[in-house]
Structure 1
C-alpha cells in the first residue's frame, strides 16, 4: 500500500534532480554509460561486417547467412524482456553491468567458433547482453535528466550508439581484410572492462531506489550527487520547486496494457517495430549486396557501409538539437516520412549501382537513426518509475522482432530471385505506415517524468 510519506519522498527526489544544473557529474555519468552503449552498438554490427567473409569461408547459402545474423537478434529479443524485469527489480546499474559482461564474454566465444552452428549459438548469447543493456541504460539516463532539456541530454548520449556502429564499420574496413573477422570479435570483448568499473563509479538511480521503498539509500545517493554537483559548479544549488509526486508501488507487466498506458504501449511497440525493421532490413545486408550484387571489393563495400553509419550519426545529432523545441511526435513522424521518401525514391529510380544504393541508403539512415534515438528517449518517458525499465524493454521486444523480420524478409526476397527494387519498396511502405502511426503518439515535451505519470 502506498504511503503519503512515500509519495512525498519521490516528489522531493524528483524536484531535487530537476533543479540540478549541468555539471561534471552529468558528464561523468553520461560518459561511463555512454562507453557501455558504444561497445554494445559496436558488437551489434559485428556479424554484418563479418558476413561477406563468412559466406565465402564457410560456403554459406543465403538461408544460412540469414540464420547467422538473426540468431543474435533473437538473443536481443529475450535479453530485452529479461533486462526489463531485472532493471525494475535489481536496479538500473546492476542490470547494465550484467548485460555488458555477458556481451563481452560472448564476443570472445564467437571468435573461437569453427562453424556456423557455434557462431550462431554464441551470437545468441551475445544478443542477450546487447538487448538487455541498451533500453535499461536509456532508462537510467532519462531518470537523471532535467525535463526542460531532457531531449537534448538523452539524445546527445544516444549519439554514442550510432558512433559505435560507425566505429564498427570503420574498424572493419582495415581489420577484416587484414586480420580476419575473428579479430573484430576479440575487439568486441573490451566491454568486460567497463562492466567492472560501472558499479563503482555510477550511483544507482535515486528515483528507482525510492520506488523500491529504499528511502534512506535514495536520500544518501541524492545527497552525494548534490554535493558533487555543487562542488563542480562552485555555487549553492537553487531551491527545489514543487514537483507532483508519483505513486510508489510495485510495477506489474499487465499495467502496460491498462488505462492510458494501453495506447502508449500500442503506439510505442508499433514504432519500435517499424524503425528496426527498416534499419536492419537495410544495414544487415548492405555489405553483402555491395559485394554479391554489384561486384564491389570488400574494402569498398565496408567503406560504403561506413558512409551510411556516418550519416546516421548526423541524423541523431540533428534530432537532438530540435526535439525539445518541436516535440517528440513531430520529430518521429517527420523522420519516418523522410525514410519512406528516400527508400521509395531509390525503388522508383531503379537500383542500378552500388554507389546509388550507398547514397540513398545513407539518406535513409540519416532519418532512421534519428527515429531510433528518439524512441530511446521517448519510451522511458511514458511509464512510471516502478515500470519504466519494463515498459522501455517491452518496446525493445518489438524492436527485436523488427530486427529479426527485416533481414529475414530481405533475405527471402533475394533468395527467391526478387528484384532489389522490391526490397526497397517494401521497406518504404513499412516506413510510411510508421509515419502515420507516429501521429497518434502522446506528446511528452517539457514535462517531468512524474507529471507524465501522475
Structure 2
C-alpha cells in the first residue's frame, strides 16, 4: 500500500450517516464519562452528611478519582498506540461501568474512595483515546467542528449529572447517581459491531492489509449513506519532521491543559459545598444553582465548536482564557459576598473555561503524528489531571485560610497565564493531520 494512501482516502470522504453513527456511539461513551467524572461534586454534600466526613475526607473523595484519571491518562495513550484506539475505549468503558456499580452499593468511605480511584482510571483512559480516534476519521477542512461536536457530549455529561443529581439526590439518594453510570455497558455490543478501528492507526502501525480492508468497508458504507460516488483521491503533502517542534508543542499544550483544568475543577468541584456551607443554602438549592453554571459552560462549549474552524484554534484558546481570567478577577475583587453574585459570575467564568477545555480535546491530538498521537494526547491529559487534582485542593485551602476572594483570584491568575501561553500556540486550522505532524 502506498504511503499516505489511507489518510488521502479518508480526506476525500464526504460527511455521511456513517460518520454520524460512529460519532454518536463513541460520543455516548464519552457522555457518561463526563457524567461520572463530576458526580462526586453533586453527591458530596449528601455523602458528607451520611458518613460524617471531615474536610480532609471530602478532599480525599474528590482527589482519589482525579489520581485515577491521571494514571488512566498516562497509560491509555501508550496502550492505544500499541493495541488500537477502539480497544482502549472498550476497556475503559468496562472499567468505568463496573466501578460505578461498586460505588452505588459502597458500604462505607474507604471502599468508596478505592472505587473512585478505579473509576478515575477508566475515565482518564477513555477520553484521550476516543478524541484521538474521532480526529483521525475527520476531513481537515471540517475537523474542528466534526471533533468538537462530538466532544460536546463530555460537557453535556457534566451538565446532565448536575440536572440529574438535583432531581434524584433529594428524592432517591446519592447512590442512584452512580447506578446510572452502569448504563453505558449496554454500548459494548453496538461498538463491537459498528465502530471499526482507526484505519490511520492500522496503516501507521504496520497492519496494512487490515487497514485496507477497514478502509474499503468504510468507503462502501459512506457510498451507501450518501448515494453518490466518492470523489477522487488527492495525494497528501507531508511536512518535514522536526523533533524540536514536538517538544515545544508538548510544553505549550501541557500548560494549557494544566491551567484551564485547574480553573475548571477548582470552582466546579466546590460550588455545591460552598453554597451549602458558606451561604447556608439547602442541598436542593445548591444543586440547582450548580446546574445553571454547568449549563453556561455547555453553551461555551457549543460556541467554540461553531467558531473553531472559522477563527482558528489559537484565537479560541487565547480569547477564552483571557475572558475567563477577567471574570474570575472581577469575582475576587467583588468578594463573592452573596450566593447570587457567585452564581452569576461563576456561570460566566464557566462559559469561557469550558470553551478552552473543549478546544484542547481537538487541538492536542492534532499536534502529534499517528504512531504517537494517542500517547501525545494522553500526555496532555496527564497535565489535565494534575490540574483537576490541584484545582480543588488549592481552592479549598485558600477558601478555608484566606477566604473566597483569594481562591477566585488564584483562578484568575491561572487563566491569565493560560491566555499568554495560548498566544504562543501553533495554528492548525484547515491542515491535514499529516501536514501538521508528519
Same fold, judged at TM 0.5 (above): yes
Which residue is equivalent to 1:428?
Answer: 412
Q: Quick check: 2:263–2:411 contact (8 Å CA) kept in 1?
A: yes
1:420 and 1:412 mapped to 2: Cα distance? 10
**Scaled by the length of structure 1, what TM-score is found?**
0.95
**Scaled by the length of structure 2, what TM-score is found?**
0.98
**CA shift for structure 1 position 258:** 4.3
**1:400 counterpart = 2:385:** yes
2:228 and 2:30 mapped to 1: Cα distance? 32
Q: Quick check: 2:304–2:316 contact (8 Å CA) kept in 1?
A: yes
SS in 1 for 2:147: helix
Which residue is equivalent to 1:452?
Answer: 436
Which residue is equivalent to 1:175?
Answer: 168
**CA shift for structure 1 position 62:** 1.1
2:221 and 2:190 mapped to 1: Cα distance? 19
2:107 and 2:223 mapped to 1: Cα distance? 55
Which residue is equivalent to 1:250?
Answer: none
Q: Quick check: 1:333–1:438 contact (8 Å CA) kept in 2?
A: yes
Match of 1:98 among 84, 91, 98: 91
Query: Per the alignment, do residues 213 and 246 of structure 1 end up closer, same or farther by CA in structure 2, a change over 3 Å counting?
Result: farther
**CA shift for structure 1 position 350:** 1.7
How many equivalent pairs are there? 438
**1:145 counterpart = 2:145:** no
**1:73 counterpart = 2:66:** yes
**CA shift for structure 1 position 245:** 5.1
**CA shift for structure 1 position 397:** 0.3
2:124 and 2:360 mapped to 1: Cα distance? 15
**1:300 counterpart = 2:285:** yes
The one-character-per-residue Cα deviations of 1:88-138 (angstroms, maximum 9, x if unpaired) are 011000000100110010011112222221111000000000000011100
Match of 1:83 among 70, 76, 87: 76
1:200 and 1:225 mapped to 2: Cα distance? 13
**1:191 counterpart = 2:184:** yes
Unaligned runs of 5+ in 1: 248-254
Which residue is equivalent to 2:342?
Answer: 357
2:113 and 2:100 mapped to 1: Cα distance? 11
The one-character-per-residue Cα deviations of 1:14-71 (angstroms, maximum 9, x if unpaired) are 1110111100001101100110110000000111111011111111111110111000
Match of 1:283 among 263, 268, 278: 268
Unaligned runs of 5+ in 2: none
The one-character-per-residue Cα deviations of 1:325-370 (angstroms, maximum 9, x if unpaired) are 1111111000000110111111111211111111111101111111
Q: Quick check: 2:239–2:436 contact (8 Å CA) kept in 1?
A: no
Q: Quick check: 1:97–1:196 contact (8 Å CA) kept in 2?
A: no
1:320 and 1:56 mapped to 2: Cα distance? 39
Which residue is equivalent to 1:346?
Answer: 331
1:335 and 1:311 mapped to 2: Cα distance? 14
2:171 and 2:407 mapped to 1: Cα distance? 32
Q: Quick check: 2:309–2:429 contact (8 Å CA) kept in 1?
A: yes
Which residue is equivalent to 1:252?
Answer: none
Which residue is equivalent to 2:400?
Answer: 415
Which residue is equivalent to 2:422?
Answer: 438
**1:367 counterpart = 2:360:** no
**1:218 counterpart = 2:203:** no
The one-character-per-residue Cα deviations of 1:273-322 (angstroms, maximum 9, x if unpaired) are 01110000001000000111001111111111111111111111111111
Q: Quick check: 1:75–1:125 contact (8 Å CA) kept in 2?
A: yes
RMSD of equivalent CA atoms: 1.4
